[in-house]
Amino acid sequence: MISGPGVNIIKKDATIKVNNSCIAFQYNYNLRILGFALYLHGMKKGSVFFDEDLNYLRKSLVEHPLYNSMENLNDIKKFMEVHVYAVWDFMSLVKNLQMNLTCIYTPWIPSENSLTARLINEIVWGEETDVDKNGIAKSHFEMYLDSMNEIGANTNKIKLLISLVKQGKDIFEIIKSFDISAEIKDFLNFTFSVIKENKVHVTAAVFTFGREDLIPNMFIEIVKKIKLENKSVESLIYYLERHIEMDGDHHGPMAMNMISTLCENNDNKIMEALDLSKVALEKRIKLWDHIYKQIK
C-alpha cells in the first residue's frame, strides 16, 4: 500500500484491534507522525508533485481566519450547513475513482492495475462504511449529518438535493436551479465538471490534494471550547478526529501512491493534475471566504 522508507515500521507497529466486531487501526504517536511524513513525501522539493503555488494554497486554507472567527454554536451551524456540500461531493470523487480503477460490473474482469484498485477500494471502505462513535457502520457523510442533527443545524436542503439526485435528475441542472449560494454552486460545479471530464489522474489529484485533512486540528480545539448551549458536539468532534486520523495516517499516503501511479511520470499528466488541484483549492478557499463573511 505504501512504498518507500518506513514501510517495515508500519507493518511492524500498526495493529488491528477488534472491538464489538468493528475493526480500527490503532497507531501510536510516533507512527502517526511517520504516516503524515510519508503523505508529505510526495510534496518535497525535488518531487514531481512539489509546487510552490499548491503549497501556498494549502497553507492559506489551513490558516484561514474562518476557524478562529467561530465563537458560538450558531457559528458552527453556519459552517456545517455550507461545509456539508463539500463532504457530500467528496464522496462522488471517491466513487468515480472506484468506477475507473476497479471492475464494478458483470461479468467481472481483472483491473488493469491491481495496486490502484486495492488503494481505492480501501479508501472507499473507510469513507463509505466506517464506524461512528457508537460502532455503527456509516459513511462519513452520514456521520456528518448526525453531527448536524445533534447541534440543531439545518439538513433539509442537503437532503432535498439528494432526493433530486435519487430521482435521476441531471446534477448540473439540479445545481443550477437549487436554492444555495453562488459559492456553493461554483464549488459543486467544479467537482462534477472534473468527474464529467473523466480524466482519472486529474480526479485522483483533486481528491488527493483537496482532502479534508486540510481542516486543521486547531478547529477541533475551537469546537471543544465553544459554549454548548445545551447541545452536544460529540458527534462532530468524533467525525473531525476520525477523518483527520484516517486521512493523515492511512488514506493520505495511499492517495499519494495512487496519484503517482496514475500520472505514470508523464509531464503533461503531472502538470494537468497540479493545475486542477490548485483550482480545487481556490474553490475551497472561496467557499471558506463565503462562510467567513456570514459569521463576521
Q: What are the beta bridge partners of residue 23?
A: 18
Tell me the per-residue pLDDT of 253-270, one tens digit each, with 9 for 90 and over.
777 788 888 998 899 999
Tell me the per-residue pLDDT of 33-78, one tens digit each, with 9 for 90 and over.
333 344 444 455 556 666 789 889 988 988 899 988 888 889 989 9
Lowest-pLDDT choice from 28-37, 222-231, 253-262: 28-37
Q: How far is CA 286 from the centre of its chain?
A: 17
Residue 28 binned pLDDT confidence (cut-offs 50, 70, 90): very low
Residue 16's pLDDT is 32
Q: How far is 177 from 149, CA to CA, in rounded Å?
A: 25
Residue 73's pLDDT is 85
**How many Cα neighbours within 13 Å face the side chain of 58?**
18
Grid coordinates standing for 6? 518506513
Torsion sign (Cα): 249, 252, 254, 260: negative
DSSP conformation letters of 91-123? HHHHHHHHHHHS--SSS----S-HHHHHHHHHH
Grid coordinates standing for 191? 467537482
Instruction: Tell me the average pLDDT across 267-285.
Output: 94
Lowest-pLDDT choice from 31-35, 42-46, 207-211, 289-293: 31-35
Q: How far is 35 from 6, CA to CA, in rounded Å?
A: 9
Identify the residue whose cell numbers are 489551513: 62
Grid coordinates standing for 127? 469513507
Residues for the chain: how many in total? 296
Q: How far is 194 from 97, CA to CA, in rounded Å?
A: 11
Residue 212's pLDDT is 58
Residue 276 binned pLDDT confidence (cut-offs 50, 70, 90): very high
Percent of the chain with pLDDT over 70: 75
Under 8 Å between Cβ of 45 and 32: no
Instruction: Tell me the average pLDDT across 187-209.
Output: 94
Residue 155 binned pLDDT confidence (cut-offs 50, 70, 90): very high
Tell me the per-residue pLDDT of 93-106, one tens digit each, with 9 for 90 and over.
999 999 999 999 99
Residue 107, preceding peptide bond in cis (omega within 30° of 0):
yes
Residue 220's pLDDT is 74
Q: Kindly list the distances between the CA atom of residue 7 and the CA atoms of 31, 32, 52, 260, in Å, as whole numbers in the listed order.
A: 11, 13, 28, 17
Instruction: Tell me the average pLDDT across 112-118.
Output: 89
Percent of the chain with pLDDT over 90: 49
Instruction: Tell me the average pLDDT across 129-141.
Output: 91
Alpha helices, H only, 226-266 = 234-246, 252-263
Instruction: Tell me the average pLDDT across 203-219.
Output: 75
Grid coordinates standing for 137? 457502520
